[in-house]
């Protein structure tokens, strides 16, 4: 059985929708109006907002209160210009599009909201919710990435196909999906706006989860720009200077670096967020910790519990 076409957008529903899938409830007809409707004009029903519920397929999870309040103020003055698109489910209506308007209508104190009923299967609702949001709404970067991932996984699409459906470049899809590889704490900082997408892309260049989390904290607490973050990550990734060979006797074997010393050097580098060189031989050696500004020196001293005063 062929897959239904993706990317139709709400135009398909507004122009009459599609044939119902087996088992899908038919919407109320003009001869048998919906039991919820308190009035119907030109195909638009007016129903209590409490009879409308959000869709579980909605990719948008965050609704900033300030933006909702602005929309509510507009609705209070002008009303809801564009009806909500819904489908009948049991004894209520499920939103296909228009959750922001539905939420703002409640804030504005409206008793009823205008709706247009359409027939749509679960699959079609998911397609429309994802594509319409990705094309029209101001999703935060992680909501956008999750939307692309859902389209890709649930409908077995390539990145190129996802890009075609939402009208974006394939590289934009690939870069967005990479954000989902960040640890949860870094994703949270991105979701809340404490770091930008530019910061996140730079942090993705670090292979260690611990390093990614540590650099994120440094960016937030230090107010680092993307350029400063790039410089910090470059220093962390720079190879450690090779210590000059020490005089040895023939029975000391091949003069290679001890892997335990190399591992410890990496941990010191992650801890101090700068280049660290560790030289060690038979219980003796030296640690060289580099800094490139007075501010970095103060940060190093702070980590060591030493006051610069």
Q: Regarding predicted confidence, which is higher, 5 or 235?
A: 235
pTM exceeds 0.75, yes or no:
no
Six-digit token string for 164:
């075609």
In this prediction, residues 106-122 reach a mean pLDDT of 88
Q: Which residue has the higher pLDDT, 221 or 12?
A: 221
CA distance 299 to 237: 19
Element (H, E) at 222: helix 209-222
Quick: pLDDT tens for 48-90.
999 999 887 666 666 778 888 998 999 988 888 889 889 888 8
57 vs 39, 64, 99, 126, 150, CA distance in Å?
28, 19, 12, 5, 10
Q: Which residue has the higher pLDDT, 143 or 130?
A: 143
* pLDDT higher than 80, residue 8: no
Looking at the DSSP bridge assignments, the partners of residue 113 are 47
List, in order, residues 6 or more apart from 8 with CB less than 8 Å away.
127, 128, 131
Taking the C-alpha atoms of residue 74 and residue 72, their distance in angstroms, rounded to an integer, is 5
Give CA–CA dist 273/291, Å, rounded: 10
The answer to whether 112 and 55 are in contact (CB under 8 A) is: no
Q: What is the mean pLDDT of residues 31-38?
A: 38
Are 107 and 72 in contact, with CB atoms under 8 Å apart? yes
Supply the pLDDT for residue 67. 83
- Find which of 22-31, 110-119, 195-204 is predicted with most confidence, using mean pLDDT: 195-204
Query: Could you count the other beta carbons within 10 Å of the beta carbon of residue 92?
Result: 13
Lowest mean pLDDT among 75-79, 136-140, 142-146, 263-267: 136-140
* pLDDT (mean) for 120-135: 74
User: Residues 70, 77, 94, 99: which is the catalytic one?
Assistant: 99
Instruction: Specify the pLDDT at position 245.
Output: 57
The tokens describing 297, both together, are 């020196």
Active site residue 302: no
* pLDDT over 60 at 92, yes or no: yes
Q: What is the mean pLDDT of the chain?
A: 77
pLDDT score of 302 more than 60: yes
pLDDT of 194 strictly over 80: yes
What is the average per-residue pLDDT within 253-279? 73
Separation of alpha carbons 221 and 84, rounded Å = 43
pLDDT at 129 over 80: no
Q: Are 102 and 68 in contact (CB under 8 A)?
A: no
The CA distance from 298 to 301, in Å, is: 5
pLDDT at 250 over 70: no
Cβ-based neighbour number of residue 198 at 10 Å: 13
> pLDDT tens digits, residue range 276-297?
787 777 777 888 887 777 777 7
Q: How many percent of the chain have pLDDT more than 90?
A: 28
CB proximity list for 131: less than 8 A, separation 6 or greater:
6, 7, 8, 9, 151, 165, 166
**Domain 10-124 adopts which CATH fold?**
3.90.1530
pLDDT of residue 155: 81
CA 235 – CA 238 distance, rounded (Å): 5
User: Rounded mean pLDDT of 203-215?
Assistant: 92
Domain ranges of the chain: 10-124, 140-181, 196-237, 257-309
């Amino acid at each position: 059985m062929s897959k239904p076409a993706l990317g139709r957008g709400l135009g398909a529903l507004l122009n009459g929708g599609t044939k119902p899938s087996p088992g899908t409830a038919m919407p109320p007809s003009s001869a048998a109006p919906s039991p919820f409707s308190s009035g119907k004009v030109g195909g638009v029903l007016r129903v209590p907002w409490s009879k409308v519920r959000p869709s579980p397929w909605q990719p948008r999870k965050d609704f900033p209160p300030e933006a909702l309040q602005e929309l509510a103020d507009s609705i209070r003055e002008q009303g809801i210009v564009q009806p909500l698109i819904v489908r009948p489910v049991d004894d209520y209506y499920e939103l296909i599009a228009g959750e922001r308007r539905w939420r703002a209508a409640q804030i504005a104190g409206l008793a009823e909201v205008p709706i247009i009923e359409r027939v749509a299967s679960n699959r079609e609702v998911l397609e429309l919710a994802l594509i319409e949001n990705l094309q029209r709404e101001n999703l935060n970067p992680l909501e956008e990435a999750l939307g692309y991932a859902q389209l890709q996984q649930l409908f077995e699409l390539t990145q190129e196909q996802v890009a075609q459906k939402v009208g974006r470049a394939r590289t934009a899809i690939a870069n967005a999906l990479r954000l989902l590889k960040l640890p949860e704490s870094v994703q949270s900082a991105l979701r809340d706006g404490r770091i930008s997408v530019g910061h996140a892309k730079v942090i993705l260049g670090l292979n260690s989860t611990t390093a990614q989390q540590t650099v994120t904290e440094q960016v937030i607490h230090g107010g680092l720009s993307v350029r400063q973050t790039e410089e910090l990550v470059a220093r962390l990734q720079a190879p450690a200077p090779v210590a000059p060979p020490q005089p040895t006797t023939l029975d000391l074997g091949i003069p290679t670096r001890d892997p335990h010393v190399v591992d410890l050097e990496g941990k010191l580098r992650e801890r101090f967020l700068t280049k660290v060189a560790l030289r060690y031989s038979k219980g003796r050696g030296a640690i060289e910790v580099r800094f490139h500004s007075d501010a970095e020196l103060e940060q190093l001293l702070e980590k060591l519990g030493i006051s610069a005063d």
